[in-house]
Chains A and B, each alone.
Chain A
Amino acid sequence: ETGVTQTPRHLVMGMTNKKSLKCEQHLGHNAMYWYKQSAKKPLELMFVYNFKEQTENNSVPSRFSPECPNSSHLFLHLHTLQPEDSALYLCASSQVASGTDTQYFGPGTRLTVL
């Protein structure tokens, strides 16, 4: 497996469910990111982890809870979501401060909240 992988690719959940999105990067990078992509809106950066430490939380509601157990894995735990949280959730990774900071993206998880 190469690059950045995400599972599941599609997820439908009710507002009372609890689910988790998983991201894994095989690039040896030190930073991982969660983005939200909604229709007709710019990509929204949600969370950033650098060496497993959270360095960015862009005022994301607490119903989204990230977890980074090591530099290769990133989770997004979801609970009591709202229909407006339906979107494509993208994971990315990069090697920050290497002089060639480039983010590489996974294929995304299409989330639908009923």
Chain B
Amino acid sequence: AQSVTQPDIHITVSEGASLELRCNYSYGATPYLFWYVQSPGQGLQLLLKYFSGDTLVQGIKGFEAEFKRSQSSFNLRKPSVHWSDAAEYFCAVGSSGTYKYIFGTGTRLKVLA
């Protein structure tokens, strides 16, 4: 079955601390992988995406993610979190020419001042 798992429902970090949000997927085809961020009352904003090539991808707002095929993972990282990063983060998987993304259930990030 195709699925995306974000094992952490909530994460709390202090401002300035490093962050890693986990994402594991199960997908039959060559995956395209995405991370989106959603602030309260807003839509989803694309942070970064992986299609092929270099397995470490850089995104907006200082985020990066690493694709590990052997672990079926695509974890999101940021070296130093800012208070404005508090939001919900969604991992998604799709593939070329498909309409359907599979989304994880999200990880809500809280940042302590």
Contacts and interface: CB of A to CB of B under 8 A. Distances in A.
Which of the four size classes fits the interface of chain B?
20 to 34
Nearest to A109: B43
Contact of A108 (B42, B51, B99, B103): B42
A31 to B, nearest CB: 6
Contacts, number: 58
Given A56-B100, A97-B97, A106 B105 contact: no
Interface string A75-114: 0000000000000001010001101111111111010000
Interface residues of A, number: 28
**Chain B interface mostly:** loop
Given A100-B51, A108-B43, A41 B94 contact: no
Given A42-B104, A101-B97, 19 more contacts: A6-B43, A31-B99, A43-B90, A48-B99, A50-B99, A56-B99, A56-B100, A90-B43, A96-B97, A96-B98, A100-B51, A101-B32, A101-B94, A101-B96, A102-B46, A105-B36, A106-B43, A107-B43, A110-B41
Interface of B: 32, 34, 36, 41-46, 49, 51, 90, 94-101, 103-106
